[in-house]
Chains A and B, each alone.
Chain A
Amino acid sequence: MDTQTAPGRFGRYGGRYVPETLVPALQELELAYAEARKDPAFDEQVAQVLREYVGRETPLTPARRLTALWGGAEVWLKREDLAHTGAHKINNTIGQVLLARRMGKKRIIAETGAGQHGVATATACALFGIPCEVYMGALDVERQALNVFRMKALGATVHAVESGSRTLKDAMNEAMRVWVAQVEDTYYVIGSAAGPHPYPTIVRDFQSIIGKEVRTQSIVSFGRLPDAIIACIGGGSNAIGILHPFIGDTGVRLVGVEAGGHGLDSGQHGASLTLGTEGVLHGSRSLVLQDEHGQIIEAHSISAGLDYPGVGPELAHLAKQGRLEVRTATDDEALAAFYQVSRTEGILPALESSHAFARAADLARELGKGKHLVINCSGRGDKDVATIAARGMPAAIRLEGA
């Protein structure tokens, strides 16, 4: 007997595995969201802010030099790095903070790993004048000092979480605990397409603007839908956002790239779709990195945004169905891709996005000439320059640059 009785299921995955205290809040959110979706004024409000403030739509940029360099499919970049705050995360936080306001919530909490979601939440809260508290693993607070400063400058309070591995998963645990205690007047903005129902659906819907724009833009730019779309996957919000509008288009290959970290054999990676097993983490049933006893294993990635031992339930379902092709890129491959894209196109991609670029080269060659490949450039690499610089520039790059 299976447990597919609950709302928010994607095949075997999803659901709502949370303390009873939170269940009524999630039901309230589910209802409020369903009502908001029926209200054209809400849609228009979100669209207006995205247009006037976030800078949507973001361009679909032809990557002519990468196309020539890789020698395969024509490469196009969906430029989420050009959205306000420098990543796709803002699409979702604008939507959720507007929803919170509509629900009459007095306060916003959020968790963040790399800090992009924290910055995007702090930004939306500043824009609408709502107090904002961000929970962030103490290790990430050290690693992402720039984003911590940005959040504070935007008026948010940043709490360093000292428990567990002191990274994203612990920040999410802590945010959930805080939410349990203050659930009456507090809205929890989850940034990944993970968490208990209805979050994976809400995040997916707000991020789907990426894929919807790609549909229109690809028709305008090259007269048809792309042959393949590739995106990096940590929790999976940018991936589900760009891929979801294409699920029914069987001619479009959907490819996700997970963090291979130090290599899949090393045990230090973030490849939950590739090597995870079915489990329950942060309120939903999905594929997670865990040991045989059900204890969650710390993920590793050079990119803090992919350093998460779980993945959104809808992506887990799509991967199991075979609709989503899953690949991995190691830290070193992502770094090499970062330099390659920077020097070839004049775009510093986020380390997260660099994972997608690392596998896009192979995919472009596989597809061959005359095909069209869209890469989700989910964020910009400015936030990562300290991490990247600390590794030292690879010898080959130094020679080439000299």
Chain B
Amino acid sequence: MSGEIADAFSRAKARGEGVLVAYAMAGDPDLARSVDVFAACVEGGADILEIGVAFSDPIADGPVIQAASERALKAGSTLRRVLDEVVPAVRERCPHTPLVVMTYVNVVMALGEERYAKLARERGISGTILPDLPPEESLSIRAAFDREGLELIPLCAPTTSPKRAEGIARDARGFVYCVSVAGVTGMRSQLPANLSERLGLVRNVSPVPVVAGFGISSAEQARVVGAHADGVVVGSAIVRAAQADGPDAARQVCADIKQGLRR
């Protein structure tokens, strides 16, 4: 069960590719059509889907995902509805793709951490990313997730000290999400020069794969970053494409990025 994420990394590695973790916002533009976007990402080559669940106050997100959050909330998206309506539909259309939820800690707390962990596993979620839950605050949630075999995927930042990064990596489940730039989510023309060093450091101590995210939007960036990580996360570029031109555009973004991840 909980090996689903590990399997996805192994399969990609066997094919000589880096993993593409594709983020889209559940409920944007509405619940049903967001399912099409997730399916399109997998058709485009996404190896893992990151299902964004909207929060009213997304402090880790940039303007593109923030706006997607607002649209999803207007369309009636809630964690419960995403688990009941979006996740099973995505699961049906993409049965071999691990699904990871990304949302904020308050949304999970409101449902109840135990209840969330149980529901998420029942619906086929493999892991969860909570960008406002640093390790010090995560003990109780992680225990609840561990009991259900749901992986709490930690984040590591450019400001994280090597010692702290080691601690985060050692306790990681699923994969380590290395934030490539000090900042919020969003596309960037340039990534920091020392990113490869940081990725190397985390990879050295991490028992699980390491992916880089934040700011990656092109095949070239994916190629550069992918050389030092097991994969990349792409979010804002997919969300923006899907909003502008629908699922086909999201599929194309994923296909382009995937080109950059061929080794």
Contacts and interface: CB of A to CB of B under 8 A. Distances in A.
Interface of A: 1-3, 5-7, 15-25, 163-164, 169-170, 173, 176-177, 180-184, 278-283, 288, 290, 292-296
Of the listed residues A5, A278, A280, the one surrounded by the most CB atoms of chain B closer than 10 A to its CB is: A280
Contacts of A180: 59-60, 182-184
B80 interface: yes
A50 B109 CA distance: 42
Interface residues of B, number: 51
30 contacts: A3-B138, A3-B140, A5-B136, A7-B136, A17-B105, A17-B133, A17-B137, A20-B155, A21-B182, A21-B183, A23-B164, A24-B160, A24-B164, A164-B57, A170-B57, A176-B59, A177-B59, A180-B59, A180-B184, A181-B183, A183-B159, A281-B106, A282-B57, A292-B110, A293-B78, A293-B110, A294-B79, A294-B109, A295-B54, A295-B107
B110 A290 contact: yes
B156 interface: yes
Nearest to A25: B159
Contacts of A173: 57-59
Contacts, number: 141
Interface string B101-138: 00011111111000000000000000000011110111
B247 to A, nearest CB: 26
B160 A293 contact: no
A23 B80 CA distance: 30
B109 A279 contact: yes
B172 to A, nearest CB: 12
Interface of B: 54-63, 66-67, 70, 73, 78-80, 104-111, 131-134, 136-141, 143, 154-161, 164, 168, 179, 181-184
A294 B161 contact: no
Nearest to B164: A24
Nearest to A7: B136
B120 to A, nearest CB: 15
Given A20-B134, A23-B160, A279-B106, A296 B56 contact: yes
A20 B107 contact: no
Contacts of B59: 18-19, 173, 176-177, 180, 282-283
Contacts of B107: 293-295
Of the listed residues B110, B161, B181, the one surrounded by the most CB atoms of chain A closer than 10 A to its CB is: B110
B109 A295 contact: no
Contacts of B80: 293
Given A24-B161, A24-B164, A295-B56, A18 B134 contact: yes
B140 A283 contact: no
B57 A17 contact: no
B62 A177 contact: yes
Contacts of B139: 1, 3, 5
A2 B184 contact: no
Nearest to A1: B140
Contacts of B70: 163-164
Given A173-B59, A181-B184, A295-B73, A15 B137 contact: yes
B136 A21 contact: no
Contacts of B62: 177
Contact of B79 (A3, A279, A293, A296): A293
A281 B57 contact: yes
Given A21-B158, A180-B183, A294-B109, A164 B132 contact: no
Contacts of A296: 56-57, 106
